[in-house]
Amino acid sequence: MTVRVLLADDQALLRATFRMLIDSCEDMTVVGEASDGAEAVDLARATRPDIVLMDIRMPGTDGLAATSVLCADPDLSATRVLILTTFETEEYVARALHAGASGFLGKDVTTDTLLAGLRTVASGEALLSPAATRTLIANFLMSPSPGAQLASPKRLSELTARERETMAMAAEGMSNSEIAEALVLSPLTVRTHIYRAMAKLGARDRAQLVVIAYQTGLVRVTRPAPGPGPGTP
């Protein structure tokens, strides 16, 4: 299957470089280029790409706003967003994930890492290490944006006990291999439980499943204990 990619970046030279790189791969092709977020949304609706490679800072509608629109569109449920930016701050990563992005890379990424990242996101995986996903989502939920709504715990009612268990362990930052070892299961079985949980909850990928785990209260955000006060031995 050929992975269809839409490029969204306000730098024409960078888009041209990415197009040459992606089109040189037999399993990927560029289906369009956008110079801002609004154009990216319009082109995504017209071309239905598998992945939108999205810059954050663009004139007009920025990448985070465009990501929110794309991920909320039921007609684009199969389209995933991979954020590529020079601004690798924790705030941007958390906001990108909350908006529905499936991955996050810096613009200093190597060629091989970028192509591998596109393939990873196309396969339905999240392009963040489990530990990074846990930390970023937890930090975001400790200080949610105004008006942010938590998901109802009732959403978990369709899951089996094992699916809840593997989902919770994934949200705590464990990889499939670590979960498999802890539960004495094969990594393939763990992957199956994770995918079934994603399907039942309508999660695009593992990152969104982690968000749901925290929002429904399946996993609780724990704050670090306060240190000793001044003069405390």
Helix, strand or coil, per DSSP, at residue 53: strand
**How many CB atoms sit inside 10 A of residue 228's CB?**
7
What pLDDT score was predicted for residue 124? Answer: 72
How far apart, in whole angstroms, are the C-alpha atoms of residue 98 and residue 67? 10
Q: Would you call 65 exposed, middle or buried from its count of C-beta atoms within 10 A (0-12, 13-18, 19+)? A: middle
Q: Taking residues 170-185, what's their average pLDDT?
A: 88
54 & 157 share domain = no
What pLDDT score was predicted for residue 131? Answer: 52
User: At 158, which CATH number?
Assistant: 1.10.10.10
168 & 81 share domain = no
Name the nearest CA neighbour of 211 among 74, 54, 203, 148: 203
Q: How confident is the model at residue 231 (pLDDT cuts 50, 70, 90)?
A: very low
What is the tens place of the pLDDT at every residue in 135-164?
A: 565 565 555 554 444 567 788 999 999 999
Number of domains into which the chain is organized = 2
Which range of residues forms the domain containing residue 181?
Answer: 146-215
Residue matched to tokens 């990448």: 63
What is the tens place of the pLDDT at every residue in 68-101?
A: 999 889 999 889 999 887 655 566 667 777 788 8
22 & 118 share domain = yes
- Whether the per-residue pLDDT at 7 is higher than 80: the answer is yes
Helix, strand or coil, per DSSP, at residue 152: coil
30 & 66 share domain = yes
What pLDDT score was predicted for residue 230? Answer: 44
pTM over 0.85: no
87 & 188 share domain = no
In this structure, is residue 221 part of a structural domain? no
